[in-house]
Chains A and B, each alone.
Chain A
Amino acid sequence: MEESPRPDPDDLLRKIQQEEAEHPRGHLKVFFGASAGVGKTYAMLQHAHQKSKDGVHVTVGIVETHGREETASLLEGFEQIPLVPVSYRGRSFEELNLDGILERKPQLVLVDELAHTNVPGARHKKRWQDVEEILNAGIDVYTTLNVQHLDSLNDIVGQITGIHVRETVPDRFFEKAEEVALIDLPPDELIRRLDEGKIYIPKQAEKATQSFFRRGNLIALRELALRRTADSVDSKMREYRTGRGIKQLWQTKERILVCVGPHPESERLVRAASRIASALHADWIAVYVETPDLAQLSLESRSRIFTTLKIAEDLGAHTSTVSGTDVPQTLIAFAREHNVTAMVLGKARKKGIWNWGRKDLTNEISQLDPSLLLHVIGEAQTSKPRQSISRRASKFLWKPYGIASLILAFVTIGCTLLYPYLDLANIIMAYLVAVVFIAFRHGRNPGLFTSILGVLCFDIFFVPPRFSLGVQDSRHLMTFAIMLGVAVLVGTLTSKLKFQATVAARREHRADILYQVGRELANSLTVEKAVEVAVHHISGIFSARTRVLLPDAQDKLQIPQNGVEGEGWKIDEGLAQWCFENRKPAGMGTDTVSQSSVRYVPLPGTMKIRGVVAVEFASADFVRLPEQVRLLETIATQVGQTLERIHYIEVAQDSIVRMETERLRNTLLASVSHDIRTPLAALVGQTGNLLTLQDSIPREMRHIVQNIHQDAERLGNIVRNILDMASLQSGQVQIKKAWQPIDEVIGVSVAEILRLYPGLPLDVDIPESIPLVEIDSVLFDRVFSNLLGNAVKYAGLQAPILLSVRALPDEIRIYVEDEGPGIPEIKQNAVFEKFKRGDEEHSLPGVGLGLSICRAIVEAHSGKIWVENRSPKGARFVVSIPNRKPPENIQAAWEAHDTELS
């Protein structure tokens, strides 16, 4: 998709202001949609109604209702400027009454279907030209447009849908629109509307429409419309963007790929790609395709590749290394996977003799995917092809040449001895064998050497005139040439094969390592074992010192203080933590503190990073090799996954153990509770029965029974408190908070205390206005029961007790007031401690658990509990819980009652 050059926003603004100053131009608002049927006309009419309400004089120039009643009904209330009849080829058509509109001069005119082509005979060929004239007259226009009618998108839409539309609107006109309102409708909805017959389709187009309204088409069109809208000239948006320096406001539509290679020109390519990308507001990706061929490059070339990738990254690219044997194929696959729309490539260097037969990347890619837009960057004059230099610089080995010389010497001596019995053709064959042998064993250069030396020997020793370089028969020159040719051919083929074999072996080696690591990790059942496997393998493969750092419960990496292999090998805690938190490698060879001698690689699990491996390579070269880096990262992933797996096994085991403990504790508590309660129940019950036999027992005995009865009940209460405390302490009490009126739970506690002490002078004061509270009623019953029980215990059965509730803005307070002796100020905090009582030597029974249970429960509700003394005497226990607003529906149910009562 080629972009028309964008206007500089300032220029544009200036231009607009200028134009406006000269003669005020009407505002254009385009209701823009992906296809017919999304409801543009409808939306336009609705907006017009809004305008009309605001007092704007709105007229209808032309609106196609297509017989739809909803739309037609919206037309009511607008002044309609009658269409003008235009006759063409004996038929009469109705067109927009341009002159009528200009004459009427409304503030706003509605002109449907901007892309319409007028019948010949009208003033303009196209409706948009009519609109232009209306705008120039200072009249605002609302209009509608489909994405396929935009000039620049016309052919794209055609490609997508297979339907080419002839009616188009130039982009520049569209871009002049002050407002573009995208009328969006999801494709499925659109199809539904189509099925319901809500979309008008001209008869002649019915067939085409069927293929047009396919879901895939609609999605693509919708995307186009969305993009185009985002793109549309909106000077405010642009001003904002330039003003704030925001690079990307919306999803970019273009994605550019630049292919990075070992060539020094790559850097220039990357910079060019960056420029193109920023001009197009596009995302861009720099990719390096690692081929077996490229793997044979010198270290220098490889490091250049990575420098280039880093430059790309700095310029804002995403970078990626992919491996494949065929560069164009790999690139195309990558491009498709990443929705790349354009590719930046370097112009192939001049074809040299060594490049003969090599394919041109540009050609190949354009053949593979003609839809990709290719930006080809020419080579700069000054640069030199350094790649070949680096190739020649590879180590020169003498050994193959020595062997070649030896073999040739043997052949020559042998043939000299056998010369009388041999034909020249036989001798040359012997040499040929030697050449093939050497070329096959040692590659092209030793092969060439052998063939040249062989030809010399053959010429000097056997070709007449013997023992001279001269050649009698010119046909022998042909023989020499063939010898050379064979050597080159065999040598080249062999070296290639050998190289590929090496690469394959290397790959296999890597796969093998991964397989082994994977297998050993799979067998690791503990973190220690997994770490050991990781350290062992990483140290082995990279001949590096390795340390796996694992996080503690607070996600802080734990750094072993005394390094085991310690000399000079120090882990940078901060950097390791950075790596852990940012999920990115850090240290040597990365963007973060690259001067560090240690590389930190995160160990990623599926859910989170499971740790960091710190690796100190023996040589910095390791991190420059992409395959090594990848290998390390792959192993790190395996280790991370293993650590995660082990973690979850531990979690599962933990929870099984916890469940088991909990079950045991529950059983224990239940049985203790049962065993104590049962005899107590018998005691309470039987004494109770005794008490009902009013007449048959003497008065003084009744008094004794009464005491036994009450003590038994108190004992029951104490047991309950101890058990409550035990279960609260073990943390197994689940707080089941629910919204409720507080009277209910207070009612229960009050009823219970009155059951125990009938006739107790207890009063309850709860105003009706107390809001709902979110509490666990069972637990709060324990709080109130304990407080009331305490009041009775310390103030006596005759002293009045008042339980009252008050709502403050942020809290709800429950007061329990008695007229007992009160609690000395110094002990007012201590009474809430476990096994503490106001008066340690108090003769009344109790273990001092009640108030600590109260505190535990109240605090679990984010509340507070305290005690204060009343004047002249008595204690006031205050429970304060937060006054929060209940969820709306609950509050509504609660308030419904209020209105009903009033």
Chain B
Amino acid sequence: MTQNYPEAKNAWRIAIVEDDSGIRNFIRTAVEQEGWIAESVGSASGAIALMEQNPPDLIVLDLGLPDMDGSTLIRIIRKSLTIPIVVLSARTQEHEKVNALDCGADDYLTKPIGGSELKARLRAHLRRKIGPLQQIQLGTILIDLTTRSVVKSGCVVHLTPIEFKILSVLCSKIGRVVSQRELLNEVWGIEHSECAQYLRIHVGHLRAKIEDKPAMPKYIITELGVGYRLADEC
């Protein structure tokens, strides 16, 4: 799917906001393996200072910082910057994930995580930086957002308006985790943000239409209790 993107910048600058030196080193290694530049800070204040002086291209952030809660930091960063924020935390509770996403984070990864997976996710977010998309190729599926058509292996897939809306919201945030609430707001409007059951059912329908094997989805990935993500590394 790289054909949709212009040539990527050579050296992205990745800020690593993490107080544990072990994790910091792990991320730094992973980032540097990709040929990107890593800038580590161990505290929220350090992160804020960095953002003000020289904003990076992406932030990897731990929620448990010594001087400030990660969610608060996300809010502060979001006030001035739109760069991707990827949370990497040991907190596994769904409500924490949802909260971080609602604060403005783009993705939520839980520790432990493998280096290759981390890198894949970071890559996805860095690619996203380049403008909105008209056409998206997912494996054998071609989604055209302007003509509102979905073609799978050459056959047209008929989606209901709601299914298409869900798919287009996911497309517009490809690679990112879209929280249930966000999806509900975008698709049904703000007053229906409590009907997560319907969302699941419609996503089920959508999967049945576009996935080869709905029980082993390749495209629409469920983040349990949090939301959905359109995978872009396939």
Secondary structure class of chain B's binding surface, majority of residues: helix
A residues near B94, Cβ cutoff 8 Å: 778
The reply to whether B115 and A740 contact each other, CB–CB distance below 8 Å, is: no
Residue among A688, A741, A900 making CB contact with B204, cutoff 8 Å: A741
Residue A684 at the B interface, CB < 8 A?
yes
Q: How far is the CA of A674 from the CA of B93 in the complex (A)?
A: 11
Residues of B within 8 A of A (CB): 20, 22-23, 25-27, 29-30, 33, 64, 90-94, 111-118, 158, 160, 196-198, 200-205, 207-209, 213-217, 221-222, 224-225
Residues of chain A with a CB closer than 8 A to B160's CB: 900
Q: Is A389 an interface residue (CB 8 A)?
A: no
Question: Is the CB–CB distance between B90 and A744 below 8 Å?
Answer: no
Across the two chains, which residue of chain B brings its CB closest to A900?
B160
How far apart sit A745 and B207, CA to CA, in the bound complex (Å)? 13
CB distance from A817 to the nearest CB of B (A): 15
> Given A674-B90, A778-B224 in contact, is the A766-B215 Cβ separation under 8 Å?
yes
Beta-carbon contacts of A741-771 to B below 8 Å, as 1s and 0s? 1011111101100110000000010101000
Pairs across A and B, CB under 8 Å, 27 listed = A677-B90, A681-B26, A681-B111, A681-B113, A682-B26, A685-B27, A685-B114, A686-B25, A686-B26, A692-B33, A692-B115, A720-B92, A740-B197, A740-B200, A744-B203, A747-B222, A750-B215, A750-B216, A754-B216, A766-B215, A778-B225, A890-B197, A890-B201, A893-B201, A894-B201, A897-B201, A900-B160
A713 at the interface (CB under 8 A from B): yes
Q: Cβ of B209: which chain A residues have Cβ within 8 Å of it?
A: 901
Given the complex of chains A and B, what is the CA–CA distance between A741 and B92 in angstroms? 23
Q: Which of A674, A680, A689, A778 has the most CB of B within 10 A?
A: A689
B112 touches A680 (CB 8 A): yes
Bound Cα distance A777, B198 (Å): 14
A464 sits at the interface (CB 8 A): no
Q: How far is A232 from B225 in the complex, measured between Cα atoms in Å?
A: 63
- Asked whether B204 lies within 8 Å of A897 as measured between CB atoms, the reply is yes
Docked pose: A673 CA to B89 CA in angstroms: 11
For the complex formed, measure the closest distance between the CB of A226 and the CB atoms of chain B, giving whole angstroms.
42
Q: Does A605 contact B (CB under 8 A)?
A: no
Bound form: Cα–Cα A530–B222 in Å:
58
A670 CB within 8 Å of chain B? yes
Shortest distance between the CB of A706 and any CB in chain B (Å): 12
Complex-state Cα separation, A747 to B203, whole angstroms: 13
Interfacial chain A residues near B158, Cβ < 8 Å: 900
Question: Which residue of chain B lies nearest to A749 when distances are taken between CB atoms in the complex?
Answer: B224
Complex-state Cα separation, A673 to B112, whole angstroms: 12
Known: A741-B200, A744-B222. A681 touches B23 (CB 8 A): yes
A residues near B207, Cβ cutoff 8 Å: 743-744
Q: With A688-B116, A751-B221 known to touch, is A739 a contact of B197 (CB < 8 Å)?
A: yes
Is A316 an interface residue, CB under 8 A from the partner? no
**A716 contacts across to B, CB distance below 8 A:** 112
Q: Looking across the interface, which residue of chain A has its beta carbon closest to that of B223?
A: A748
Given the known A-B contacts A689-B115, A750-B216, A751-B221, are A682 and B23 also in contact in the complex, defined by CB atoms under 8 Å?
Answer: yes
Q: Pick from B114, B200, B201 the residue with the most CB of A within 10 Å.
A: B201
Could you tell me the distance in whole angstroms from the C-beta of B47 to the nearest C-beta in chain A?
Answer: 18
| Chain A proximity of B166: nearest CB distance (Å) | 13
The A657-692 residues at the B interface (CB cut-off 8 A) are 670, 673-674, 677-686, 688-689, 691-692
Known contacts A716-B112, A900-B160; 4 further A-B pairs (Cβ under 8 A): A679-B22, A740-B204, A745-B222, A893-B198
Q: Judge whether A712 is part of the interface by a CB distance below 8 angstroms.
A: yes
Q: Is A818 an interface residue (CB 8 A)?
A: no
Q: Are A768 and B115 in contact (CB under 8 A)?
A: no
Q: Which of B20, B115, B201 is within 8 Å of A678, CB to CB? A: B20
Write the residues of chain A forming the contact surface with B, with a CB cutoff of 8 angstroms.
Answer: 670, 673-674, 677-686, 688-689, 691-693, 712-713, 716, 720, 736, 738-741, 743-748, 750-751, 754-755, 764, 766, 768, 772, 777-778, 781, 890, 893-894, 897, 900-901
CB nearest neighbor in A for B90: A677
**Inter-chain contact B214/A670, CB cutoff 8 Å:** no
List 7 A-B pairs, minimum CB-CB distance, nearest first. Answer: A682-B22, A681-B111, A685-B26, A684-B112, A677-B90, A741-B204, A688-B115
Q: How far is the CA of A520 from the CA of B139 in the complex (A)?
A: 80
In the docked arrangement, what's the CA distance between A900 and B158, Å? 9
The CA-CA distance from A685 to B33 in the complex, in Å, is 13
With A685-B30, A689-B33 known to touch, is A744 a contact of B204 (CB < 8 Å)? yes
A671 to chain B: closest residue by CB: B64
Q: Which one of B29, B92, B222 contacts A686 once the chains associate, using CB atoms below 8 Å?
A: B29
Name B90's contact: one of A681, A688, A712, A739 (CB within 8 Å): A681
Q: Which residue of B lies closest to A673 (CB)?
A: B90
Q: A720 — nearest CB in chain B belongs to which residue? A: B92
Q: How many angstroms from the CA of A684 to the CA of B117 in the assembled complex?
A: 12
Closest Cβ neighbor of A778 among chain B residues: B225
A359 to B227, CA, bound (A): 85
Are A713 and B112 also in contact (CB < 8 A) when A678-B23, A685-B23 are?
Answer: yes
Residues in B neighbouring A739, C-beta threshold 8 A: 197, 200-201
Cα–Cα, bound, A679→B213 (Å): 36
Inter-chain CA distance A716–B94, complex, in Å, is 18
Q: How far is the CA of A109 from the CA of B114 in the complex (A)?
A: 90
User: Shortest Cβ distance from B212 into chain A, in angstroms?
Assistant: 12
The answer to whether B201 touches A746 (Cβ under 8 A) is: no
**Residue of B with least CB distance to A670:** B91
CB closest residue in chain A, given B28: A689
Task: Collect the chain A residues with CB atoms within 8 Å of residue B20's CB.
Answer: 678-679, 682
Q: In the complex, which residue of chain B has the Cβ closest to the Cβ of A781?
A: B224
**Complex Cα gap A755–B114 (Å):** 10
- Alpha-carbon distance between A692 and B215 when the two chains are bound, in angstroms: 30
Q: Contact: B64 with A674, CB < 8 Å? A: yes
A685 with B118: CB separation less than 8 A:
yes
Report the nearest A residue to B24, measured CB to CB. Answer: A682
Contacts A681-B26, A685-B27, A766-B215 given; does A741 touch B224 at CB 8 Å: no
What B residues does A679 contact at CB under 8 A?
A: 20, 22
Determine if A901 and B115 form an interchain contact, defined as CB atoms under 8 angstroms apart. no
Can you name the residue of chain B whose Cβ is closest to the Cβ of A674?
Answer: B90
B67 CB → nearest A CB, Å: 16
Q: Within the complex, what minimum Cβ distance (angstroms) separates A413 from chain B? A: 103
B198 and A890 contacting across the interface, CB-CB below 8 Å: yes
Q: Which residues from chain B contact A692 at a C-beta distance below 8 Å?
A: 33, 115-116
Q: How far is the CB of B97 from chain A (nearest CB, A)?
A: 11
Instruction: Pick from A681, A741, A748, A893: contact of B112, CB below 8 A.
Output: A681
Quote the shortest CB–CB distance from B134 to chain A (angstroms): 27
Output the least CB separation between A558 and chain B (Å): 42
Say whether A744 contacts B200, CB under 8 Å: yes
What's the least CB distance linking B89 to chain A, in Å? 8
Instruction: Tell me which of A682, A750, A768 contacts B208 (CB under 8 A).
Output: A768
Q: Is the CB of A682 within 8 A of B25?
A: yes
Of listed A693, A744, A764, A768, residue having the most chain B CB within 10 A: A744
With A674-B90, A781-B224 known as contacts, the answer to whether A680 contacts B115 (CB < 8 A) is: no
In the assembly, what is the distance between CA of A524 and CA of B64, in Å? 47
Give the distance to chain A from B14, nearest Cβ to Cβ, in Å.
Answer: 15
Chain B hits for A684, CB < 8 A: 111-114
Residues of B within 8 A of A755 (CB): 117
Which of B29, B118, B158 has the largest count of A CB atoms less than 10 A from its CB? B29
Give bound CA distance, A629 to B30, whole Å: 86
Residues on A with beta carbons closer than 8 Å to the beta carbon of B215: 743, 746-747, 750, 764, 766
- Measured between beta carbons, the chain B residues less than 8 angstroms from A764 are 213, 215-216
Alpha-carbon distance A738/B116, docked complex (angstroms): 34
Q: Bound complex: CA of A748 vs CA of B216, how far in Å?
A: 8
Q: Which residues of A contact B112 (CB under 8 A)?
A: 677, 680-681, 683-685, 712-713, 716
Whole-angstrom CA separation of A692 from B32 in the bound complex: 12
Most chain B C-beta atoms within 10 Å of own C-beta, residue among A678, A712, A745: A678
Inter-chain CA distance A741–B200, complex, in Å, is 7
Contacts of B204 in A (CB 8 A): 740-741, 743-744, 894, 897
> Which A residues are in CB contact (< 8 Å) with B201?
739-741, 772, 890, 893-894, 897
If A680-B112, A685-B118, A740-B200 touch, whether A901 touches B208 (CB-CB below 8 Å) is: yes
